[in-house]
Structure 1
């Protein structure tokens, strides 16, 4: 296992979609994400069946806090110990935790406490898993292929989303929450042999500066975090790019996680209508990832990201103005295309602008808002809709999202940023 992990990744002269090393990583990523989808269905079903709606909501949101608190530290861990090792360890912990809860539910009816513990474990593990996943592409392929890999990763994620939720429903229908948790564990376990077979390029700075003084590990870890944050702050592209990503996430999360449900209820679209709108968004996002995966590189990347964000923000505001579900599906498809394109390009810029030795910390900072802080704004968004209605709140969210595109256009270094050939 160790010999396979330290074997250097071969120099890639062809496109990433023909590189077996990249494809093994993508297969592992898709399997792990599909397991996540099954896990969330199983967790929500078990929580609703076991406790009150309020208790179920607390269980479902329990992972957000450790994810937000520990995310920056997770980036340091990914850079210090190597992202491949961290991803393997994270998936192993998640697999063991899910299978343990599956066995517990199969043998007895323990109540809500194991579900809450499992959610907390997932949140803590996600805090190191997400930065490590973001740091891996630069270790398994060449710089010129990073944009294409970003598009392929987007496609793998969309595939996992499409497959994971139905599989979770089938598992619940076949054997209850215990069976669904068991299926989630098996899917996550499937990623482990694929990850073990992935070969990476080790970097000289992986382990950071040597320091053998007593208690130095905590001090060194803190120094690594501060060094990473300082490096991002001083970077002419990464610093404004972080602000762009944060504004875009804060403006997007409310409308498409809470607002869409409220909008469907207000307009009488029903659950099926909301499902069609979400399907339109997912289709648009998948098309954007496919474009980047096929092209491999888009010229004028900074400008493309900025204009895509601005176009998507206008579409978010328009979504709350249309009465019919057909028009809403069309607008959601455009939002997905714009958000998918801007997200993929911004992700590719992160991959290519950051030093690979800092990619764990860079990914942690970029993911902190979207995965840690933005979900915490959803109750505020719902309360604002209750006070002022969907239309003005959607417009405010769209303006916040559009500010990200404005920043990308106003900052010269980001506006002129290009992906490598």
Structure 2
């Protein structure tokens, strides 16, 4: 049985679906909590140790997240994504509030912060595949593109509002207050998640083997799928070429140009505004004709904008280029996510989402130190050009693989 047979005959618009709105509210609260938590953790780490030690605390979460991501996908498919997401947010809530209580009563060492970071990294490995597997269980197949657009808007709102909220909490009461705010936000997601009612999977699609067998079965399903297998290569290439310049290259570029920290903020604002506009477009339209081909061309054009960032001397022009990067990369990313949602059998979506998250959040951040070292040796121009070439390669791959180029989203 394919994913297409799960959709109901009459679809309800995603924006008017109580199920989708509950999920969206929970996801927004959780994203805000994440943003506040990471700001509070970085501030507490910097206040308690050296910059190198603070960097180590912020990095330790990436290890369990990368190692356990595939396990999280198996659990999402075996136990159901709703249960995994509820458990994840409950653990994050208790961890944040527990750390807040410790900070109110004492001044713990960095090892306490590192331990909490490891817990959050482990929970992220379970949460990300599960949250990616929820939409097809609460929305009709022809509404999944809109749901991905709504998810993108919620993520951008969490990123934009979460950091100022965390900064205000730190200013008013220190890291302990910020961790309390994060815990409360995670708690707000729980009643909304508990109210969700998922569509059951057909009996023959339920996982009934061992966890290892389920993992192998999911990887085999992904490898054999004519769209999803190649799409994972696209996700990996796009993020390998993109995240280094955005997360490391911009800071070094702003330092060289004399734009300062405020310049980085304006460039990131331009990127966020463009990505938010792309999510809004998908939310309103619900469907982009020839989604596969459009995603390929937007990746190629976005790669040109990434390469151009290193050659823009003035800050306003750099903000404009960053806006185009956000718009094009945001649209291609949202279309890829929507294709994953609509092409994948819901019984395998947790495992497929885990592989996709591993490609973007597990492997791609490994380019951070390489990007920084390369810019120090050769300058920003050549490094941004190579990164742009990798991004362009992902788009070219989409256009050269017939199954990807011809992939379509279902009609609303």
- Assess same fold via TM > 0.5: yes
Kindly state the Cα deviation for residue 163 of structure 1 after the two structures are TM-superposed: 1.0
2:143 is aligned with 1:153: no
Question: What SS is found at the alignment partner of 2:66?
Answer: helix
2:277 alignment partner, one of 287, 300, 303 = 287
Structure 1 unaligned regions, length at least 5: 1-7, 212-219
2:127 is aligned with 1:137: no
Q: Describe the shift of the 1:210–1:366 C-alpha distance in structure 2 as closer, same or farther (beyond 3 A).
A: closer
2:407 is aligned with 1:417: yes
Distance, in Å, in 2 between the alignment partners of 1:296 and 1:280 is: 24
Distance, in Å, in 1 between the alignment partners of 2:181 and 2:252 is: 32
Distance, in Å, in 2 between the alignment partners of 1:223 and 1:25 is: 30
2:379 is aligned with 1:366: no
Distance, in Å, in 1 between the alignment partners of 2:10 and 2:95 is: 37
2:289 is aligned with 1:307: no
Kindly state the Cα deviation for residue 207 of structure 1 after the two structures are TM-superposed: 8.2
Q: Which residue of 2 aligns with 1:114?
A: 112
Q: Describe the shift of the 1:228–1:107 C-alpha distance in structure 2 as closer, same or farther (beyond 3 A).
A: same
2:49 is aligned with 1:71: no
2:389 is aligned with 1:399: yes
1:338 alignment partner, one of 304, 328, 331 = 328
Kindly state the Cα deviation for residue 15 of structure 1 after the two structures are TM-superposed: 1.1
Spell out, residue by residue over 1:112-143, the C-alpha distance to the aligned partner (whole angstroms, 9 max, x if none): 11100011001110001000000000000110
Distance, in Å, in 2 between the alignment partners of 1:205 and 1:132 is: 20
Task: State how 1:10-409 maps to structure 2 within 5 Å.
Answer: 13-204=11-202, 208-210=206-208, 220-409=210-399
Spell out, residue by residue over 1:136-190, the C-alpha distance to the aligned partner (whole angstroms, 9 max, x if none): 0000011010001000100011111111000100110010000000000000110
Question: What SS is found at the alignment partner of 1:297?
Answer: coil
C-alpha contact 1:29 1:191 (8 A) present in aligned 2: yes
Kindly state the Cα deviation for residue 208 of structure 1 after the two structures are TM-superposed: 3.9
Kindly state the Cα deviation for residue 204 of structure 1 after the two structures are TM-superposed: 2.8
Structure 2 unaligned regions, length at least 5: 1-5
**TM-score where L is the length of structure 2:** 0.97
Kindly state the Cα deviation for residue 14 of structure 1 after the two structures are TM-superposed: 2.7
C-alpha contact 2:12 2:140 (8 A) present in aligned 1: no
Distance, in Å, in 1 between the alignment partners of 2:35 and 2:372 is: 24
Distance, in Å, in 2 between the alignment partners of 1:277 and 1:380 is: 22
Distance, in Å, in 2 between the alignment partners of 1:207 and 1:95 is: 33
C-alpha contact 2:299 2:391 (8 A) present in aligned 1: yes
C-alpha contact 2:68 2:122 (8 A) present in aligned 1: yes
Corresponding residue pairs, total? 406
C-alpha contact 2:7 2:140 (8 A) present in aligned 1: no
Q: Which residue of 1 aligns with 2:3?
A: none
Spell out, residue by residue over 1:361-390, the C-alpha distance to the aligned partner (whole angstroms, 9 max, x if none): 000001102111211220111001111111
Question: What SS is found at the alignment partner of 2:108?
Answer: coil
